Amino acid sequence: MITVLNTIDTGHEDMIHDAELDYYGLKLATCSSDNSVKIYDIKNGTQTLAADLKGHFGPVWQVAWAHPKYGNLLASCSYDRKVIIWKESGEWTKLYEHTGHESSVNSVAWAPAEYGLILACCSSDGSISIIQYSQDTGNWDVKKITGAHAIGVNSISWCPALSADLNLDPLTNKDAPKRLVTGGCDNLIKIWREQGDQWVEENRLELHIDWVRDVAWAPSLGLQRSMIASCSQDKRVVIWSSDDNVSWTPTILNTFDDVVWSVSWSLTGNILAVSGGDNKVSLWRESTDGQWLCISEVAKGLGQTPNDERSTL
């Protein structure tokens, strides 16, 4: 059961596309079609506007917080084909601007902090960029995967540094391959693995029959297997699970009434929040027998428990 804490008047002039809480859950970043990114400090259930970042010339689709060990860093990606990395040092300023894409940049995600300061972003031009900060030179090095998804890549997410396959061989932990998952307009989900200095397509997961809108690799605090949640315009949410990050088994979480736009895992990776076109957010949890149960569902602004039929799905 979840209850509404409060509704935030963001002052955004247009639609909000993403809202992200930072590592500690104490800062909230929102981004909107009105080209701006806003940052709020959350204290005791209230929030105050801390910054209004203007630098994009198009709708800002997504924001992502870096691990705090690198400072207060926020990445934002926009329809204007740019990715901006913002840094707070007293004030929020532009730290770096990545302009390597030929079309709208749809999603950004920071790599697990263990790998260093690495940002992945993906674009409607079908390519993925991996931008790595080099401590020695102070430069940002860009690697690109072109033609990752025909027509465009909608969403990107990193495999946690501690992941299922490590259990197989704990001694090789430090050389564990980096992995990425992307969802695209070709209805596919692809898993990419770093091999040497190349990124190779390791797996493609086919099940969705329309654009994949969001993918999210579950954080793995204590989980013994990897899970990826994907949601699509085909109104379905699918949980892909794997014991070795190589073979993946899909479970359809639910088929919703409308397009599902966004999914987000809880810190412990056992609760999934799903946001769909019917303007509802619902929380799902896997029971011990592998069934996914809706534990809570709210329509916009209203707290409400799931009805019986839903919960027995």
Partner 1 sequence: MIPSNTICVSEEGPANALALNKDATQVVIAGRNVFKVFSIEENDFTEVCNLRVGKNLNLNFSSIDVAWSTIEENTLATAATNGAVVVWNLGRSGRSKQEHVFSDHKRTVNKVSFHLTEPALLISGSQDGMMKCFDLRMKEVARTFISNTESIRDVQFSPHQAHTFAAVSENGNVQLWDVRRHERCLQQFTAHSGPVFACDWHSEMPWLATASRDKTIKVWDIHAKPNLEHTIYTIASVGHVKWRPQKKYQVASCALVLDCAVHVWDVRRPHVPLATFAEHRDVTTAIAWQNDPNTFLSTSRDCSLYRHRFSEAAHPVLWANPHGVCVSARGDVTHAAPDCPLPALHTNPASDRYVPGLGRKQPTAGSLRPQAQAALERLFPGGAASVLTRYSGEGRPPCCVVACAKEYKMRGLPTHELAEHNAKVARAYNRHMVGHVWEVVRCVYGRPPPREPPEREPPPPPPAHTNSNAVEEEPLEEVEQWAETQFHNSGVLGMPTLSIYIPPHKYKIRHDATGACGPEGSGWVSAASAHYVDVETADWTLPEEAFPLRAPPPAHQPSILDTTHGRAAAGGASPGGSSSPGSGSSGSNGSACTAPPNLEQTSSAYPGAATPEEGESGPLWVVHEALRPHVEPAPLLALALRHHADLGDVQTAALVMIVLHEHRSDLFPYIDEGLQEHWLLGYIEFLQKHKLWNVATEVVRCAWLSSVWSLSQQSSSVTVCCGRCGRRARPRAMCDRCLPHPDLCAVCRQVVRGLYAWCQGCSHGGHLEHMRQWMEKHQLCPAGCGHHCQLG
Sign of CA dihedral 180, 181, 182, 186: positive
Which CB, 86 or 213, lies closer to partner 1? 213
Q: Does 296 bind partner 1 (CB under 8 A)?
A: yes
Rounded-to-10 torsion of CA 188, 22, 50, 133: -70
Q: CB–CB of 294/304 below 8 Å?
A: no
Give the nearest distance from C-beta 201 to partner 1 in angstroms.
19
Q: Does 234 bind partner 1 (CB under 8 A)?
A: no
Q: Does 81 bind partner 1 (CB under 8 A)?
A: yes
- The correct pick among 300, 304, 310, 312 for binding partner 1 (CB under 8 A) is 300
Please name which of 279, 308, 178, 286 lies closest in space to residue 229, comparing C-alpha atoms: 286
- The correct pick among 41, 57, 206, 313 for binding partner 1 (CB under 8 A) is 57
Q: Does 276 bind partner 1 (CB under 8 A)?
A: yes
Q: Does 240 bind partner 1 (CB under 8 A)?
A: no
- The correct pick among 72, 203, 251, 270 for binding partner 1 (CB under 8 A) is 270
Q: Does 301 bind partner 1 (CB under 8 A)?
A: yes
Which CB, 80 or 130, lies closer to partner 1? 80
Q: Which stretch binds partner 1 (CB under 8 A): 11-19, 131-139, 195-203, 236-244?
A: 11-19
- The correct pick among 49, 50, 95, 162 for binding partner 1 (CB under 8 A) is 162
Q: What is the β-pairing status of strands 179-184 and 271-276?
A: unpaired
Structure tokens, 7: 């509704």
Site string for partner 1, 90-129 (x = CB under 8 A): ------------xxx-------------------xx----
- The correct pick among 48, 69, 90, 138 for binding partner 1 (CB under 8 A) is 69
- For residue 194, count other CB atoms closer than 10 A to its CB: 17
- The correct pick among 55, 152, 183, 306 for binding partner 1 (CB under 8 A) is 152
- The b/e string for 17-26 (b: 16+ C-beta within 10 A; e otherwise) is bbbbebeeee
Give the nearest distance from C-beta 196 to partner 1 in angstroms.
24
Q: Does 48 bind partner 1 (CB under 8 A)?
A: no
Q: Which residue has the tokens 């085909």?
A: 234
Within 193-212, the residues that bind partner 1 by CB under 8 A are 210-211
What are the DSSP calls for 41-90, one per residue?
Answer: EEETTEEEEEEEEE--SS-EEEEEEPPGGG-EEEEEEETTS-EEEEEEES
Which CB, 95 or 293, lies closer to partner 1? 293
Q: CB–CB of 72/29 below 8 Å?
A: no
Which CB, 59 or 118, lies closer to partner 1? 59
Which CB, 91 or 302, lies closer to partner 1? 302
Q: In what order do the strands lie in the sheet with 46-54?
A: 16-21, 27-32, 36-43, 46-54
- H or E segment and range at residue 188: strand 188-195
Please name which of 240, 246, 304 lies closest in space to residue 278, comparing C-alpha atoms: 304
